[in-house]
A and B are shown apart, each in its own frame.
Chain A
Amino acid sequence: MQHEFIFAGFGGQGVLLMGQLLAHTAMDEGKRVSWIPSYGPEMRGGTANCTVIVSDREIGSPVVSRPSCVVAMNLPSLDKFEETVKPNGVLVINSSLVTREPKRQDVTVVKVPATQVANELGNARVANMVALGAVIEATGVVTPDGLMKALKKNLPPHRQNLLPLNREAIEKGRKTAQE
């Protein structure tokens, strides 16, 4: 079994971090993982994306052209990556910022108002964790418990106070995906 994710959004939405946290979690749960960022002459406010592979066996190409799951945190990301999702794959959309309907009929679409939920929680920056909650619920790639453990392990000491907020964001994201 192999999951291939592309997390995409604009710089500052924490898309690289989402992917890293997922990779950490899957690694701690005994899976093979790889994470690669799109890197280039980037700038703040530009687009950012990363590719994460989670597999039971040795990972060949860390680069994928047909991911099993795309997470589009904004409209340009949906425009760029919607077509790439494998048939029967998963498309997670931040419906707070994406104004159009997805075109694909052959994939599972999960709409999460990630930015709105994050704002309601009092911090727009946890929109990525809301979306990540939805991702793990929709794909079952890692356990919620494993994600919470990895979150605690990877938050630096001076940020541990943000643990409850992030946990809540992930839980809200999971609930949205269940609906």
Chain B
Amino acid sequence: MSEKLLMKGNEALGEAALQAGCQLYFAYPITPQSELPEYLSRRMPELGRVFLQAESEIAAINMVYGAAGAGARVMTSSSSPGISLKQEGLSYIAAAQLPCVIVNMSRGGPGLGSIQPAQSDYLQATKGGGHGDYHLIVLAPASAQEIVDLTILAFDLADQYRTPVMIMGDGLLGQMMEPVLFPDRTNVELPEKPWATTGRKGDRPKNIIHSLELQSERLEAHNQKLQEKYADIAATQKRSDEYLTEDADVVLVAFGTVARICRSAIDMAREKGIKAGLFRPISLWPFPDEALARLAEKERVFLSVEMNCGQMVDDIKLAVDCRRPVHFFGRVGGIVPSPEEVLAEIEKIMAGRCDA
């Protein structure tokens, strides 16, 4: 373990990527994640690795496509509007089954929106975003330390499943400084990549990476293979965390920054004698529906708190199979809800004045 360092989330993410063995980084600057390219622009040349500020987000994601195809650990990052531009490339990368890490420190939308924190890219991240039947693994950290841990995990999962993995943060997580520890990563063996286009020396068949398949039967078979992979990921890679859910009458469901705010609101509610708890999805895809379903076995209500207009509510309703009421409270436009606002919502629900 390293010495404890006080770092911004964006910088901690950059350092974690380096320690995970990220060899190349391609991106185009955008607030509120620009400290990440800034940090890597300094550190990657020191380590003899590639930092490249591309001419656009679209160029950056296609550079990622190429580098991932050659078998390198590679990352790109952006914020909401820039992530939209990358969607075509993400679809191609998912189709070609290439491992890479994409960071979205999301901001208020739609359109150019604002530079303040938001979570309004939930649906884009978890339901596709680009065209075709594919998924990203989406991980949502809630602290600087978790940014470090999940970034390293993201690279490992990407290689394990040959799939793009997204780190879904928000402007506040990127800008916030918190203490972080970097795990000891010496002697980590990276997986073999026999499929990579590393240059054939006559000793193996050609490796060809592409996403075009004009023969329908073969494309269907490829899709089925992808779906089997996604089923495998869904069966093994659901992650979540809980806080005081055991006896909770109202379970808040929130991820990232908002989960932190909910935690404070829950402490305030408990002081007032209201039994509130928190369910925090860490993997947004696959959504941790089984853990949430277990909570729904007991008579209780759910409250989704998000910095968007309710994009996660459907996933929660599906998980609890509509057996329990699911309420929603959200702020948008770059406004971060306060613990007091969330507490007021909890009190309103508990007073039975709010219909689901």
Residue of A nearest to B342 (CB): A61
Chain A contact residue count (CB 8 A cutoff): 21
A-contact bits for B327-356, CB 8 A (1 contact / 0 none): 000000000101110000000000000000
**Does A142 sit within 8 A of B, measured CB to CB?**
no
Range, interface on chain B: 20 to 34
B-contact bits for A17-36, CB 8 A (1 contact / 0 none): 00010011001000011111
- The answer to whether A34 touches B178, judged by C-beta atoms less than 8 angstroms apart, is yes
Residues of B within 8 A of A61 (CB): 260-261, 263-265, 338-339
- Give Cα A66–Cα B340 distance, bound, in whole angstroms: 10
Within 8 A of B (CB), among A22-78: 23-24, 27, 32-37, 39-41, 58-63, 65-66
Given A24-B6, A65-B340 in contact, is the A60-B176 Cβ separation under 8 Å? Answer: no
- The answer to whether A60 touches B172, judged by C-beta atoms less than 8 angstroms apart, is no
- The answer to whether B175 touches A39, judged by C-beta atoms less than 8 angstroms apart, is yes
- The answer to whether A36 touches B339, judged by C-beta atoms less than 8 angstroms apart, is no
**Does B75 sit within 8 A of A, measured CB to CB?**
no
- The answer to whether A41 touches B339, judged by C-beta atoms less than 8 angstroms apart, is no
B307 to chain A: closest CB distance in Å? 12
- CB < 8 Å: which of B6, B171, B257 contacts A23? B6
**Does B272 sit within 8 A of A, measured CB to CB?**
no
- The answer to whether B260 touches A60, judged by C-beta atoms less than 8 angstroms apart, is yes
**Does B288 sit within 8 A of A, measured CB to CB?**
no
Residues of A within 8 A of B31 (CB): 39
Residues of B within 8 A of A (CB): 4, 6, 31-32, 115-116, 171-172, 175-179, 257, 260-267, 336, 338-340
Q: A20-B177, A37-B175, A61-B338 are in contact. List 20 more A-B contacts (CB 8 A).
A: A23-B6, A33-B6, A34-B176, A34-B177, A34-B178, A35-B178, A36-B172, A36-B175, A39-B115, A39-B175, A60-B261, A60-B265, A60-B267, A61-B260, A61-B264, A62-B172, A62-B176, A62-B178, A63-B261, A65-B338
